[in-house]
């Protein structure tokens, strides 16, 4: 499984949270709502999830991991 670059993911999560606050402050702003929807879609695709809440949880979990390469992708040299 391909995993996103952690810096890109962290940036997307920050942008999503900022945009979410903007939409909560002004729910009728069509530009902010569209940006939030676009960020939600991108997070879902990157994390392989069907809804943004799952994508955020998975993204935060991935960022919290100390490993940058998943175990299944490691190569053992012998």
Please give the DSSP secondary-structure letter assigned to residue 15. Answer: H
pTM of the model: 0.79
Alpha carbon distances (Å) from 48 to 1, 38, 43, 52: 10, 15, 8, 10
**pLDDT for residue 70 is more than 60:** no
pLDDT digits (tens, 9 = 90+) for 33-61: 999 999 999 999 999 999 999 999 999 99
């Amino acid at each position: 499984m391909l995993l996103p670059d952690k810096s890109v993911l962290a940036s997307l999560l920050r942008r999503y949270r900022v945009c979410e606050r903007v939409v909560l402050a002004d729910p009728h702003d069509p530009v902010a709502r569209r940006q939030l929807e676009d960020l939600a879609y991108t997070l879902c695709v990157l994390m392989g999830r069907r809804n943004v809440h799952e994508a955020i949880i998975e993204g935060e979990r991935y960022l919290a991991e100390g490993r940058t390469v998943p175990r299944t992708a490691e190569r053992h040299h012998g």
